[in-house]
Chains A and B, each alone.
Chain A
Amino acid sequence: MSNEILVVVEHDRGEVTETSYQAFGLARTLLSAGVGTSITAVVIGAEADALAAGIGSYGAGLSVLVHHAELTDYAPEAWGDVVAQLIASRAPAAVVATGTDRGNEVLAHAAAIADLPFAANVTDVSLADGLGLTRVRWGGSLLEQSRLHAPVYVLSGSAHTFTGEPSGDAAATTEVFEPTLDASAARTRVVDRVTLAAGITLTTAAVVVSGGRGVGSADGFAPLTELADLLGGAVGCSRVVTNNGWRPHSDQVGQTGKRIAPELYIACGISGAIQHWVGMMASKHVLAINTDNEANMVGKAEYAVIGDLHKILPAVSDEIRRRRASA
């Protein structure tokens, strides 16, 4: 076993996703726990070569640039094949990614090919008999203590758990790896893209105005949309809202929806069940607006206003317009 920790850098045609660098936070946590002695970044697809320049600052001494004609766009099976081949050729101590759709998918493929166990959405590690892990179940409402025995530890880090900040300003050296991919590896590949929302989206917005059962209807979302538009933010919702068909499922925040981390999450008429909370608990600040001062969300929020969201939100929008007009 070498003492390398491989970090799979998640990117889309060379553009890094916001949570990708959190995988380096997990890698550094592994180093601190005594697993491995160096970090190597795996950058898949020539389009992403430019990323290698900045990767040293996240703690990687080396970037492996993976080049192949079939790797021009995201292809889950091919990416999994690449990581499995790197596991075979480099015998690393561990392979990590952030626990996103793509991160978990690529590591699941790599682990399946290499016949290794894979622990998804890890929040902490410790050296024990094997590797001691804490990982999330139920989307985060339950924590599992587990033990991993494997020649190579394959782990994804629970999103918004490990730091995605640079740790220094060192430069990484680079080397090129050309994998052997047969035609079937590229049979699952992005063949088209449909853009529904340009600009601010639920996952990138600084402010999310989110509604739950208390909104009452599809039309009831009008004041939420109005406020979100005024603030350049996005509208979110809870599971009961999508189950009632009031909003599209792509707006759902929670265990079966999106995980988000805005500056401010405004929870309107949302009771705050744990399955919703796990989707927005990484928010920097939370403001709850609810008629029920006993609601879970009110108790857990940093700020709260008690009352009818249908009266409060229009008043907030009016106040913003008034101050802007007089500024």
Chain B
Amino acid sequence: MVELRILVCVKRVPAPGARITLTADHQGIDAKNLGFTTSPHEECAVEEAIRLVETHGGSATVLTLGAVEADEQLRYAVSVGVNSAVHVTHASLAGGADWDAQATARALADAISSLEATDGAFDLILFGNESADSGGFQVGVRVARQLGRAIVNGIKGIVVENGSVTAQRESTSGFEVYQLALPAVLGVKEGLNLPRYPTLPGRLKSKKVEVPVLTAEPMPGGLATLSFDNAAELVVETTMLGTGPEAAPAIVDLLEELGLV
């Protein structure tokens, strides 16, 4: 059996579903009452890395670029079964401030190159398709391009066999199938799997694991965030069609009116 070296890149984001409150100057989000988590697509990337190592042997490493607090997401990944973690950080990331996608990708690709120079190449690198918060849809692609490796995004099914990875991506009518020779990079989506919960031994291990911290210098690209606004809340006059099953004729009237029956 050929063992796999897998890397997963994750981002610490406010928990999806939380109501996002902006700071008074609209320059950032008010993190006081927010829970933080790993971006949903990347939770599935972590789970998939663990499953691939369970099947093929080898090791899974988790990497993040983020503020000091992102240590929590790295240790969470260890608590569910990832073997090791690496944290890339810089003072300018304090408080959850984002670097732009170009700067983020450069820092991650440089960190990956330096990890590979010491410990050998990763067979497979997994990214989330896009981060839940900034949604730039590009960091994985930029990293793959800098490393000179193939990448496909939007992946919801992965099989590794004989030195290549077969990856499935949702289409309007089913799946498209891609086949990439290893080493390769994939951007994955929620739905790839259902992530597991931490075990008690996993939690204990995650508390003790040593997480090397690397620093990176920001090299900003050309897209700069100025401020945030909450999307306008839709105000509609809701027409009540009734209560309970007695409303069925009114619903069918509506369907007829819209020409949908």
What residues make up the interface of A, taking CB atoms closer than 8 Å to B?
12, 17, 74, 76-77, 80, 99, 101, 104-105, 107-109, 111-113, 115-121, 130, 136-150, 156, 184, 187-198, 201, 203-204, 206-207, 231, 233, 239, 242-243, 245, 248-250, 252, 255-257, 263-264, 273-275, 281, 285, 287-288, 298-308, 311-312, 314-316, 318-320, 323-324
Majority DSSP secondary structure for residues of A touching B: mixed
Q: A188-B178, A256-B132 are in contact. Are A287 and B254 (CB under 8 A)?
A: yes
Pick the residue among A118, A149, A190 that contacts B138 (CB under 8 A): A118
B173, CB-defined interface residue at 8 Å: yes
Inter-chain contact B255/A136, CB cutoff 8 Å: no
Residues of B within 8 A of A111 (CB): 138, 142
Q: Does B119 contact A (CB under 8 A)?
A: no
Chain A residues within 8 Å of B123, by CB? none
Number of A-B contacts (CB under 8 A): 259
With A299-B238, A300-B238, A305-B240 already in contact, 5 other A-B pairs whose C-beta atoms are closer than 8 Å: A107-B138, A287-B241, A303-B241, A306-B243, A316-B248
Chain B contributes a number of interface residues (CB within 8 A of A) equal to 81
Q: Could you tell me the distance in whole angstroms from the C-beta of B225 to the nearest C-beta in chain A? A: 5
- B20 at the A/B interface (Cβ < 8 Å)? yes
Q: Give Cα distance in the complex from A116 to B105, angstroms.
A: 13
Do A191 and B178 have beta carbons less than 8 Å apart? yes
User: Are B135 and A120 within 8 A (Cβ)?
Assistant: yes
Majority secondary structure of chain B interface residues (helix, strand, loop or mixed): mixed
Q: Hey, which chain A residues are within 8 Å of B177, CB to CB? A: 190-194
User: With A109-B145, A193-B174, A195-B174 as given contacts, are A206 and B41 in contact (CB-CB < 8 Å)?
Assistant: no
Chain B residue nearest in CB terms to A15: B172
Q: A256-B40, A306-B240 are in contact. Are A119 and B223 (CB under 8 A)?
A: yes
A108/B173 contact (C-beta < 8 A), A117-B102, A287-B254 known: no
